[in-house]
Structure 1
């Protein structure tokens, strides 16, 4: 079993982010402060989502608990493919779970179409969001303390959709005003 602290994951994500941004700047031979500040919003989305998706919400000895990865566990008991089975009244905090899963991904629906010009409509933005969400849910199969749940995919996708609707409605209203 491997244990990773949030700080270790934060440093890893940050180093990979800096390396990727540096390689892209060299490859395309251009650097824009405005674009990098926009991309910083994507980075913030990734770091915040990683915090809440992979690490326990409750502090352990005053610190964020560790992420445990175990390649020897069978993930079958960590998967829920029945929609809405665990969603309502199954445990304390179910309402916070619903609101949190939606709210956590609203920024993805807002930030990604601003930063990635190819996400030029709601469908493309939601599709990109679903791909990201499915990656997250599948990666949780390696984490015995995490749970891969279709409800998370539905709620997270709802968040991306809400964010995308906001950004594209604002874009439309700005075009209508001009």
Structure 2
């Protein structure tokens, strides 16, 4: 598998862990084990978690979307389009979580997920010249 089909497969595979961690509960990580709700005030969750030393959710939301942003940017080199797709994908997940028991819909997740997409884009852009021959073989 080479060219565009391999890149599309890599993008689809980067979505699997995103859906796994955002849709299904994970008791060992404390995700989806308590009553859920909606948080609409930007940066409230981020400030609370960082002040208490809870980095898993904050860093996890960013890291989870880095591969997605990386592979998306390989298929689409437009920065604004890549960031917008990352934000819209995150918003879609948050809307789904509205109807899932024990899940939180949080504007901070959208911010962090979009940041992860942007970091993935920047990482791909920075290394694209060195990785171009490798990626074309995927």
Q: TM-score range by the shorter chain?
A: 0.7 to 0.9
Matched positions, count: 125
SS for the counterpart of 1:82 is coil
Structure 1 residue 57, shift from structure 2 partner: 2.1
Runs of 4+ in 1 over 6 A off after TM superposition: none
Q: Which runs of 5+ in 2 are unaligned?
A: 132-138
**Contact in 2 for aligned 1:110/1:167 (Cα 8 Å):** yes
**Contact in 2 for aligned 1:122/1:168 (Cα 8 Å):** no
Question: Normalized against structure 2, the TM-score is what?
Answer: 0.77
Taking structure 1 as reference, are residues 123 and 173 closer, same or farther at Cα in structure 2, changes over 3 Å only? farther
Deviations 1:102-132 (A, max 9, x none): 0000011100122x3xx22211111111111
Q: Which runs of 5+ in 1 are unaligned?
A: 1-32, 60-64, 67-76
Counterparts of 1:134-149 in structure 2, within 5 Å, are 134-149=91-106
**Who wins on radius of gyration, i.e. which is larger?**
1
Of 57, 75, 81, the match for 2:40: 81
- Structure scoring higher RCO (CA < 8 A, sep ≥ 6) equals 2
Q: CA RMSD in A?
A: 2.7
**Contact in 2 for aligned 1:88/1:94 (Cα 8 Å):** no
Q: Name the counterpart of 1:9.
A: none
Q: Name the counterpart of 1:57.
A: 26
Q: Name the counterpart of 1:133.
A: 90
